[in-house]
Amino acid sequence: MTAFVRRFYAGAVATNKSLWMFAGGPGDTAESFAGGAAYFNSYDPTVTVYLLDQRGVGMSTPSVNCANPPLYDYDPNNQTTMDAYSACNMEIAETFGPTIKFFGTYYAAVDYLTVVNMVNADKVAIYALSFGTYAMNMYMQLPGARADVVILDGPVPPNRWALERDPDVKSLVAQVKHAHAHTRAYHWMVRWTRPTCPC
């Protein structure tokens, strides 16, 4: 598994004052923040901006996606869209099996903690958008997490996501839990946006 990190700075070298931008989604790539990173560099050239593609999205590998991703935004009132999301969710569950649990909120936070510690900047500022607020919240609960300032932009209710309402995925979760009561391989699929321990 490879986590992709992109760094933006105004001068010849990176500075020791960092801004970490947590992307939303779930599933949005941090590339959507590239324009914002350039803005922050122009506003304050002493800041180095870091963008991390969370596990399974963007340039991080492997990519968690299906062969034919849904063409429309999630809409629980549109059966065609619901069917497309169900098919995609089932394909992801079948492709990744029990390893999919390593792509949830907790492990995104662990990745952030690892990279923040590797950079070891004097100042750590965090901007989190939408779903990124969940990953940031979990990050802040990890031992050793650092942040001098945190901005939460647009947190959303945890019951908004497609996987939480998808009856086919919930059925698969129930079957797997029944067959493998000693594991929690698919537990994330119903609750993956909540900042809870995967244990």
Per-residue pLDDT tens digits for 119-139: 999 999 998 888 788 888 889
**pLDDT one-digit tens code per residue, 144-172:** 999 999 888 877 655 555 555 556 555 55
3-state SS, 134-149, equals HHHHHHHHCCCCCCCE
127 in helix, strand or coil?
A: strand
For the entire predicted model, the pTM comes to 0.71
Is the pLDDT assigned to residue 183 strictly greater than 90?
Answer: no
Contact 132, 164 (CB under 8 A): no
**Max avg pLDDT among 12-21, 58-67, 163-172, 187-196:** 12-21
* pLDDT at residue number 57: 82
pLDDT attached to residue 187: 32
**Average of pLDDT values for 48-62?**
85
pLDDT at residue 66, rounded to an integer: 82
Domain count, the chain: 1
CA gap 59, 29 in Å, rounded: 8
User: Is residue 197, in this structure, part of any structural domain at all?
Assistant: no
192, pLDDT greater than 50: no
Judge whether 199 lies within some domain.
Answer: no
Q: Is residue 95 in a domain?
A: yes
Q: Check residues 193 and 120 and name the one with the higher pLDDT.
A: 120
- Residue 198 domain-assigned (yes or no): no
Task: Evaluate whether residue 70 is within a structural domain.
Answer: yes
Give a yes or no: residue 23 inside a domain.
yes
Return d(Cα 81, Cα 76) in angstroms, integer: 8
* Sheet containing strand 123-129, strands side by side: 4-8, 48-53, 17-22, 123-129, 149-153
86-102: per-residue pLDDT in tens? 888 888 888 888 888 88
Mean pLDDT in the chain?
Answer: 76
pLDDT of residue 171: 57
151 touches 126 (CB < 8 A): yes
Amino acid at the residue 188 = W
Is residue 133, in this structure, part of any structural domain at all?
A: yes
Average pLDDT over residues 40-55: 88
Of 36, 15, 16, 14, residue with least CA distance to 24 = 36
Residue 105, domain member (yes or no): yes
- Among the ranges given (4-8, 55-59, 125-129, 162-166), the one the predictor scored with the smallest mean pLDDT: 162-166
Structural domain containing residue 56: 4-191
| Residue pair 26/91 in contact by the 8 Å Cβ criterion | no
Write down the pLDDT at residue 118.
Answer: 92
For residue 132, give the H/E element and its range: helix 132-141
Q: What is the pLDDT of residue 174?
A: 52
In the chain, count of helices (H) and strands (E)?
7, 5
Question: Residue 168: its pLDDT value, please?
Answer: 58
3-state helix, strand, coil in the chain (%, to 5): 45, 15, 40
CA distances for 118 relative to 112, 121, 122, 149, 168, angstroms: 10, 9, 12, 19, 40
Q: In the predicted model, is pLDDT for residue 117 greater than 60?
A: yes
Q: Which residues contact 156 (CB under 8 A, 6 or more apart)?
A: 130, 131, 133
- 167: domain CATH number? 3.40.50
